[in-house]
Amino acid sequence: EPEVTQTPSHQVTQMGQEVILRCVPISNHLYFYWYRQILGQKVEFLVSFYNNEISEKSEIFDDQFSVERPDGSNFTLKIRSTKLEDSAMYFCASSQGWDNSPLHFGNGTRLTVT
């Protein structure tokens, strides 16, 4: 069964450094998402992406965050200057459509900012 894959599974970085989290969505999906889950808290929406542009973003997704689909398969989340509070599990998800289509999630990247 096709699945969403994320790399790396763990990333440790120092405060102020840039990180790029990578995702390969399911191949025939058209909508892509990033969510995050801070330890012990709810899964939170960050951003949705369709047709090479951001469809919607949350208040969390400020100027330090950006997303890109650099080629036909990868979908990336960049954090320009990481802060301690960016430490979380970051999940990529994809869906065929926005209506009647469930989101399929990757296994996540655990980001630790020291």
Footprint on this chain of other proteins (rule: CB under 8 A): 4, 31, 33, 35, 41-45, 48, 55-56, 89, 91, 93, 95, 97-108, 110
CB of 9 to other proteins, least distance (A): 9
Terminus-to-terminus CA distance in the chain, angstroms? 37
Output 9 or 17, the one with its CB closest to other proteins.
9
Q: How many angstroms from the chain centroid is the CA of residue 68?
A: 10
- 103 and 33 in contact (C-beta within 8 Å)? yes
Output 16 or 98, the one with its CB closest to other proteins.
98
Residues in CB range of 103: below 8 A, 6 or more apart: 33, 93, 94, 95
Specify the residue for token string 């969505």: 25
Output 15 or 54, the one with its CB closest to other proteins.
54
CB of 16 to other proteins, least distance (A): 26
Output 18 or 56, the one with its CB closest to other proteins.
56
